[in-house]
């Protein structure tokens, strides 16, 4: 009778422990989205509430740093009628902004924030080629006196980002340089030794200006999280989930003490059987 009661108690205790473990797991699953300092709802809101700004005039520059004092601080001039993605309200004069895969700064009074999300915010599929080996060097700045980053393949179509004014490499061919990317390296090619750009079609999307840009606060930190590369997102998720995984392992790991007690009870049972045989 005592053995039956003890077995029932053990069963009840196991049921209670399993329910406690289940509750702990549910609590962990509930708080995991908060552990990364950004909730799922916030992420969804950020993905659908990006603010774009239209370039409505010529000579609107994307700057390397939020300053107009340095003459060499211009990355390139943005194509008119297209858009930049506003990342944050950086200062009273500048937005931090992104054009395609280039992040820089734009003057607030040079762009117009819009309510809509444009379907084609950036100028794409416009290419050019270098027609002379004298112009194949990709330069670090729009000057033939700057350092060369690499040599481009003169038979390859180069991706056009924008234009920039610099030095006149060849007399009579102007001082325009093209900003481009070659094998993941950004730099400048002298337009005087490249094909004339063709096929640049203005963006005809209809948009309306918006007020209260970043009225709910800057989204620079949130943007940096969401715009991470896939490997970085996986790494961040792994780090956030690590504490929960460790706790679950600790909960479900086998208890060696119970095994030891089981071995002791079995050996004691064997001794009792031997004693009974000797008595008989």
| 50-123+205-228 against 127-193: fold identical | yes
Predicted TM-score (pTM) of the model is 0.64
Q: Which CATH number among 3.40.190.10, 2.30.110.10, 2.60.40.420, 2.30.30.40 corresponds to the domain 50-123+205-228? A: 2.30.30.40
Would you state the structure tokens that stand for residue 261, as one six-digit string?
């007690």
Question: pLDDT per position in the chain (280 positions), as tens?
Answer: 566 556 666 667 776 777 776 667 666 665 555 544 444 444 444 444 689 999 999 999 999 999 998 878 999 999 999 999 999 998 889 999 999 999 999 999 999 999 999 999 999 889 999 999 999 999 999 999 999 999 999 989 999 999 999 999 999 999 999 999 999 999 999 999 998 887 789 999 999 998 877 754 444 544 554 455 556 556 655 665 666 666 666 655 555 544 444 455 556 665 666 665 555 5
- 127-193 carries CATH number 2.60.120: no
Q: Residue 181: what pLDDT?
A: 96
Q: Residue 160: what pLDDT?
A: 96
Q: What is the dihedral of CA 100, 228, 105, 78, to 10 degrees?
A: 0
Domain positions in the chain are: 1-35, 50-123+205-228, 127-193
- Give exposure, 131-167, as e/b (b: 16+ Cβ within 10 Å): eeeebbbbbebbbbebeebeebebeeebbbbbbbbbe
Directed axis angle between helix 2-35 and helix 230-252, to 10°? 160
Q: Residue 216: what pLDDT?
A: 45
State the Cα–Cα distance between residues 117 and 64, nearest whole angstrom. 25
Assess contact for 36 and 235: CB atoms under 8 A: no
Assess contact for 48 and 222: CB atoms under 8 A: no
Consecutive H or E run containing 100: none
State the Cα–Cα distance between residues 219 and 224, nearest whole angstrom. 8
CA angle, 84 as apex, 83 and 88 as ends, to 5°? 145
Q: Residue 72: what pLDDT?
A: 87
DSSP annotation of 197 = P
């Amino acid at each position: 009778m005592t053995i039956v009661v003890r077995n029932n108690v053990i069963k009840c205790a196991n049921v209670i422990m399993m329910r406690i473990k289940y509750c702990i797991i549910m609590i962990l699953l509930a708080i995991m989205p908060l552990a990364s300092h950004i909730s799922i709802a916030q992420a969804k809101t950020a993905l659908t509430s990006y603010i774009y700004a239209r370039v409505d005039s010529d000579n609107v520059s994307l700057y390397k740093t939020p300053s107009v004092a340095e003459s060499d601080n211009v990355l390139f001039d943005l194509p008119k009628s297209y858009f930049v993605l506003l990342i944050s309200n950086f200062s009273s004069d500048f937005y931090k902004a992104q054009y395609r895969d280039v992040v820089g700064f734009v003057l607030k009074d040079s762009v117009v924030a819009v309510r809509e999300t444009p379907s084609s915010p950036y100028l794409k599929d416009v290419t050019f080629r270098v027609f002379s080996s004298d112009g194949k060097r990709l330069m670090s700045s729009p000057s033939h006196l700057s350092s060369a980053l690499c040599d481009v393949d003169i038979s390859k179509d180069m991706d056009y980002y924008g234009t920039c004014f610099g030095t006149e490499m060849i007399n009579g061919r102007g001082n325009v340089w093209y900003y481009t990317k070659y094998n993941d390296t950004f730099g400048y090619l002298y337009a005087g030794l490249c094909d004339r750009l063709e096929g640049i079609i203005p963006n005809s999307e209809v948009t309306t200006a918006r007020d209260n840009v970043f009225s709910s606060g800057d989204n620079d930190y949130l943007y940096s999280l969401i715009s991470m590369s896939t490997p970085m997102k996986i790494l961040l998720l792994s780090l956030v989930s690590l504490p929960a995984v460790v706790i679950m392992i600790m909960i479900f790991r086998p208890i060696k003490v119970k095994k030891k007690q089981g071995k002791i009870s079995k050996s004691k049972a064997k001794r009792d059987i031997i004693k009974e045989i000797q008595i008989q």
